[in-house]
Structure 1
Amino acid sequence: MPVPDSPPSLFPALTKHAILACQTSSWHPTFARIAMKTTVIRPLTAAFREYLLEDGVSIPEGSEDVPQASSLSDDDEEEIEEERDKNGNDGDSDDDLPPPKQHSFPELDAKIRQAIADYGAVFPKLNWTSPRDAVWILAPSSPLKCTSPSDVYLFLKSSDFVSHDLDPELVFACCEDIVEGEEDYDLELVLKKWYPVERSRELRCFVRQETLIGISQRDTNYYDFLNEVSTQASIRSAVVAFWETNIKGRWDGGGDYIFDILLTRDLSRAHIIDFNPYAPHTDPLLFTYPDLLALISTASTPAQESLPVLRVITSRAHPAAVRNAPANQHNMVPREALEMSAGRGVEEFREAWESEMRRASGVAGEEEK
């Protein structure tokens, strides 16, 4: 392991180059052979950025695989029109309100559908951030699994996390070399091939001053096999070999970075999931950044022989496991509520929701008879 050139600080000086290097479009061409299959669509249009920034959750027209037919008959629609004509459009009626803005992205829809055709299903993210806080939107057995453009849009619109990638001030917040007006970058949509993943084999790895210092279990559940001495030795050996063979010397973002990998079932090889900046907003998981600073501070001593340090959840009583409530539960709203809220004011949405609940209760009552 190399000896650090200077005493380390808690965080390295962060540059715009280091941030941009962590975009999938930046690193994936170099590491495609050992990364998940991925399609990057860029640049996204200003209209799509505007759509993501709008309040509320709406699905662009044409993005559903099965068009939703109107539930109104021709007679119903004629009756509604007659009632409107009878009442007129004076005063504070809903007709005076501007209609909700409709969006349509046919070219983007086509590219998403092509990726889905290529991979079977995809899970989405923007330049740096995935909508993992919206994982509850679809079935828990298939988190972030998208089989239509509308699924992709629903995840992105339901996520608080991805808003980070839409704001240049947030993206480059810690950079020391940003000049005002130079926070430009192209917004991109990343579609990775979706398949069931055993979360126990996901790891986050920390590199500081070109030294692999720490490895953390990513999922905060307890896994008994991860506490076996032989398993931990195999994991450390596999990660070190993978890093030294495939990443060290090839990473273009500087000597300080964090990368996520998925180990193969036999724990002998790995695939890259993502790269992250070595910065406060990247979760250190089972470490703290002072822990990691202490590790790099000992890298020039005999203690370096013990690097990288591997940390896993050691018991079901481990603090991280105890805290393992449903992630981002503050953001959980029933999907039906999201669909019904589109284009409605608060009072109108409340009435529609109560009507739906009465209808559902009536159906349930009929089924019980």
Structure 2
Amino acid sequence: MASPAPPNLFPDLRCEDVLQFQHSVWYPIFARIAIKAKTIRPLPLEFSQYMHDDRVMVPEGSENILAESYLSDSESASDEHEDQDETRPPHYSFPELDAQIRAVIEEYDAVFPKLNFTSPQDSMWLLPSSTPLKCTSPADVYLILKSSDFVTHDLLASSVFEDCVDFIPEIDSQYELELVLKKWYSMDRSREFRCFVREGRLIGITQRDPVYYEYLTDVSNSNKIRSAILKLWTAEIEPRWPHPDYIVDLLLTRNLEKGHIVDLNPYGPKTDPVLFSFEDLRDLMETSSQELPVFRVIDSPSHPLVNRNAPKHQHNMVPLDALAFGSGQDPKSLSRNLADAIMQSVRSDNV
């Protein structure tokens, strides 16, 4: 009798499958155990244009400052020539969206933003390391998103669906951009874990942050973490999520006994497998020599991921101009002064 064919490295994805992983779709199912969040949709028609604009700016009225007049007594709008108006770059203002963002911030105190699928993790350098991605005004939200390369994935259907077997580039009307505002927490990244589910089986768990945390190497702690995740998945996630292939990010509580869903991702090449490779995960599907799920952590300060001394996507995170600007400054001063400089530049552009 012939042996069954080995599983493919990735499952076949269809557009309708990918759409199920939008935050607005999965969050209502798991709201009880997920990080609190609000989804704003539809967005203004000009929002996509704003996100595609190469200039770094925030829309007028989005800062938490009193409106100021930048015209002197001798100036007025009538002094502007019509031909100058025709060549002036697009001007952006989203008062209704600003009001919606402020309402969520008032409810949550602070938020961190994402689009349909992607968080602007590469924009963390804009804010102090003690408060990564913490936004307290619409301007913060816009600036974090505008400074991210990661979120550009969500702007076009061609990138969202590029791995789908049924994607037809001319047809993208089923996709609508949305803004997600999650309640900001000071999260302990050592308690974040990425879990891989293939053909309805939880096959692998890895720490999410590629940093050495000594307590994770303790056998009793690792067993406790693995047991808590397996219990959460079995009781709360697997019965409610009908898709057999997915990757779920979890944040465990301080006692490592319970957890919350941070995100749900398609099982595909765009999702970072962290301490696994997708070849490793495929092999786990074919072997019975290990008890599933396999749990991996960085087990030594000399681990290759730790020795890189830089984030995986460091080339996306800090512009060369920022490095030059920050010469000789400590990290906290650099973050504060750079953010101030950016906002000053933004305000000048908005004049």
TM-score (norm 2): 0.86
Distance 1:326 1:67 in 2: 38
Structure 2 residue runs without a partner (length 5+): 323-337
Q: Does structure 1 residue 319 correspond to structure 2 residue 318?
A: no
Q: Which amino acid aligns with 1:210?
A: G
Q: Which amino acid aligns with 1:169?
A: S
The residue number in structure 2 matching 1:365 is: none
Distance 1:282 1:229 in 2: 28
Task: Choose 177-186 or 289-298, whichever is displaced more.
Answer: 177-186
Task: Choose 335-344 or 228-237, whichever is displaced more.
Answer: 335-344
Distance 2:68 2:157 in 1: 40
The residue number in structure 2 matching 1:152 is: 141
The residue number in structure 2 matching 1:116 is: 105
The residue number in structure 2 matching 1:49 is: 48
Task: Choose 182-191 or 201-210, whichever is displaced more.
Answer: 182-191
Task: Choose 331-340 or 237-246, whichever is displaced more.
Answer: 331-340
Distance 1:155 1:50 in 2: 16
Q: Does structure 1 residue 231 correspond to structure 2 residue 235?
A: no
C-alpha displacement of 1:244: 0.5
C-alpha displacement of 1:210: 0.5
Distance 1:71 1:8 in 2: 63
Q: Does structure 1 residue 246 correspond to structure 2 residue 236?
A: yes
Q: Does structure 1 residue 279 correspond to structure 2 residue 268?
A: yes
TM-score (norm 1): 0.82
Q: State percent identity of aligned pairs.
A: 52
Q: Which amino acid aligns with 2:65?
A: V
Is the alpha carbon distance of 1:263 and 1:110 closer, same or farther for their aligned partners in structure 2, counting shifts above 3 Å? Answer: same
Q: Does structure 1 residue 309 correspond to structure 2 residue 294?
A: yes
The residue number in structure 1 matching 2:187 is: 197
The residue number in structure 2 matching 1:36 is: 35
C-alpha displacement of 1:70: 6.0
CA contact (8 A) 1:203 1:216 kept: yes
C-alpha displacement of 1:322: 1.3
C-alpha displacement of 1:44: 1.3
Task: Choose 23-32 or 336-345, whichever is displaced more.
Answer: 336-345
Q: Specify the structure having the higher radius of gyration (Cα).
A: 1
CA contact (8 A) 1:205 1:216 kept: yes
Structure 1 residue runs without a partner (length 5+): 346-369
Q: Secondary structure at the match of 2:87?
A: coil
The residue number in structure 1 matching 2:248 is: 259
Distance 2:239 2:136 in 1: 37
Q: Which amino acid aligns with 1:258?
A: I
The residue number in structure 2 matching 1:335 is: 339
Distance 1:141 1:343 in 2: 25
C-alpha displacement of 1:162: 0.6
C-alpha displacement of 1:239: 0.6
Q: Secondary structure at the match of 2:124?
A: helix
CA contact (8 A) 2:158 2:169 kept: no
CA contact (8 A) 1:100 1:343 kept: no
The residue number in structure 2 matching 1:188 is: 178
Distance 1:24 1:50 in 2: 22
Distance 1:6 1:114 in 2: 53
Distance 1:23 1:162 in 2: 13
C-alpha displacement of 1:21: 1.1
Q: Which amino acid aligns with 1:193?
A: K
Distance 2:253 2:273 in 1: 23
Task: Choose 31-40 or 96-105, whichever is displaced more.
Answer: 96-105
- Structural RMSD (CA): 2.5
Q: Does structure 1 residue 268 correspond to structure 2 residue 257?
A: yes
Is the alpha carbon distance of 1:205 and 1:234 closer, same or farther for their aligned partners in structure 2, counting shifts above 3 Å? Answer: same
CA contact (8 A) 1:56 1:342 kept: no
